[in-house]
Amino acid sequence: MSNPMRSLRDVLAQELGRVVIGVEASVDALVIALIARGHVLVQGVPGLGKTLFAKALARALGGEFKRIQGTADLMPSDIIGVHVFDEAGRNFVFRPGPLFADVVLVDEINRAGPKTQSALLEAMEERQVSIERSVLPLPADFIVLATQNPREFEGTFPLPESQLDRFMLRIDMSYPRREAESEILARYGGVLTAAHTALESVSVIDRTLLAQARSAADNIHVSSALSGYLLDLAAATREHPRLALGLSTRGVLALLKAARIVAGIRDSEFVTPDDIKQVAAWVLAHRLVLTPEATLEGVSDAQLVEGLLASTPVPR
C-alpha cells in the first residue's frame, strides 16, 4: 500500500524544486506543517528566496496567495479588511483583507507593530476572524508563512511569546551550498530570465493526497514511554537555568505531531526518539526565551536545544 505522507513529500519536493533550489530540508518542514495544519516562521537574511518559496507552495496547493508587507504603519484593518458603505445597496459591505487566502506570506513580520501582530493571533489559532461582532471563517487549509531577518533590529518589533508559540515550526534558511548557488546562477542569471516566470511550471498537487496524509498520520502509534520522553524534554526546558521561558503545552503537542509525521514519512508505524530529535530544532528553538545572561554570553536557542536533547535520558 502506498504511503500518502511520503508521496506528498515527494510530489511537493518535485514541484517546489522546479522553482527553488537547495531547500530540501525546508520542504520536509513544510510537509509537516501542511499535514498538521500548522504555521511556519521562516528566518533568514534577505535575498535567499523566501518569498519565491512561499509563492511556489501556494501554486502547488492550488490555493490563493496573498502577501502582507510588514511595516510600522501597518494597521489590523489592512490585513483583516474593512466595512465600506455601498451606495447602491444602502448598507455596509465587508471588503476582506489579504488574510482571507489559503497561503498568506507575512514578509518581515517583525516590522509590523504589536497591534497588527496581535491581529494574527486569532486567525492562526482558531482559523477565524472576529470583526464588527461577526465571526468569519478562514479557508480550510489556511497557512501563514512569515519571514523575519534575525540580524536586523532597527525599526523592528520582536515577536511576543504568544505569537511565536502559534508558529508550529521555525525554518532557518542559510546561504545555499556552492553547488546549489551555481545552479541558481545558471537558471536565473539571464538578463531576460525572471524567477516569477518559473512559477508557471509548478503543477497543482492532488489535494486528496493531503487529506489521506492527515488521516494516515493519526494512525502512527506513540508509546507511553515516548510520551514520557516528551514530557521530560518539556520539563527540562522549564527548569533550565539559562531559559527564562520553557516549552508550552502547545509546543509539546506540536513536537508530538511533527514526530508522528516524520515517522510516517519514513514508513514507520510508530514514533521513535530519533523522530523527536529530528524535528526538535524546528519546533523548540523559537519557543525558548533565553535569560539575559545567556544572551550576553552569546548562547543560541539552537545550541540549547542540542544540549537539552543530549542531557535528557532517552527511553529504551
Based on the fold, state whether residues 66 and 125 are members of the same structural domain: yes
Does 20 reside within a domain?
no
Query: Among the three residues 135, 167, 199, which one is the final residue of a domain in this structure?
Result: 167
> Is position 11 within any domain?
no
Question: Are 220 and 300 members of one domain?
Answer: yes
45 and 132 co-located in one domain: yes
Of residues 44 and 263, more confidently modeled: 263
Classify strands 128-131 and 134-137 as parallel, antiparallel or unpaired.
antiparallel
Average pLDDT of the chain is 88
CATH number of the domain to which 74 belongs: 3.40.50.300
3-state secondary structure of 146: strand
Q: Looking at the structure, do residues 73 and 157 belong to the same domain, yes or no?
A: yes
pLDDT at 40 over 90: yes
**pLDDT above 70 for 193:** no
Residue 68 has pLDDT above 80, yes or no: yes
Residue 241 sits in a domain whose CATH number is 1.10.8.80
On whether residue 141 sits in a domain, the answer given is yes
Residue 46 has pLDDT above 90, yes or no: no
Q: Is the pLDDT of residue 169 over 90?
A: yes
- Cβ atoms of residues 27 and 13 within 8 Å: yes
| Residue-level pLDDT at 88 | 80
Expressed as residue numbers, the domain containing 120 is 39-167
In a domain, 224, yes or no: yes
Residue 282 · residue 170 · CB < 8 Å: yes
Give the pLDDT band of residue 1 (cuts 50, 70, 90): very low
Taking only Cα atoms into account, the Rg of the chain, rounded to an integer number of angstroms, comes to 20
Structural domain includes residue 173:
no
Same domain, 146 and 245: no
pLDDT digits (tens, 9 = 90+) for 247-300: 999 999 999 999 999 999 999 999 999 999 999 999 999 999 999 998 888 888
For residues 304 and 219, state if they share a domain. yes
- Both 136 and 232 in one domain: the answer is no
Residues 222 and 106 in one domain: no
Positive or negative, the Cα torsion across 154, 171, 66, 191?
positive
Pair (149, 269) in one structural domain: no
Whole-number pLDDT of residue 151:
67
Question: What is the helix (H) or strand (E) element at residue 136, kind and residue range?
Answer: strand 134-137
How far are the Cα atoms of 39, 223, 290, 300 from residue 163, in angstroms, in the given order? 11, 31, 16, 20
Domain count, the chain: 2
Asked if residue 193 is part of any domain, the answer here is no
Is residue 190 pLDDT above 80, yes or no? no
Angle, alpha carbons 282-284-285 (nearest 5°): 80
Distance CA 15, CA 302 (A): 30
Instruction: Read off φ and ψ for residue 275, nearest 5 degrees.
Output: -65, -40
Answer whether residue 68 is part of any domain: yes
Which range of 34-38, 85-89, 145-149, 157-161 scores highest in mean pLDDT? It is: 34-38
pLDDT, tens digit, 9 for 90 and up, residues 89-139: 778 888 889 999 988 989 889 888 888 888 899 899 999 998 878 889 998
In a domain, 235, yes or no: yes
Phi then psi for 87, rounded to 5 degrees? -65, -40
Residue 238 C-alpha cell reads as 522549564
Of 205, 157, 148, 159, nearest in space to 17 by CA:
205
Q: Which three cell numbers stand for residue 180?
A: 546549489
Both 149 and 221 in a single domain?
no
- Judgement on whether residues 58 and 156 belong to the same structural domain of the protein: yes
pLDDT, position 234? 95
- Cell numbers that stand for 210 in this block: 493531503
Per-residue pLDDT of 221-261, as tens digits, reads 999 999 999 999 999 999 999 999 999 999 999 999 999 99
CA distance 172 to 26: 8
Return the SS3 of 28: helix
Is the same domain home to 57 and 152? Answer: yes
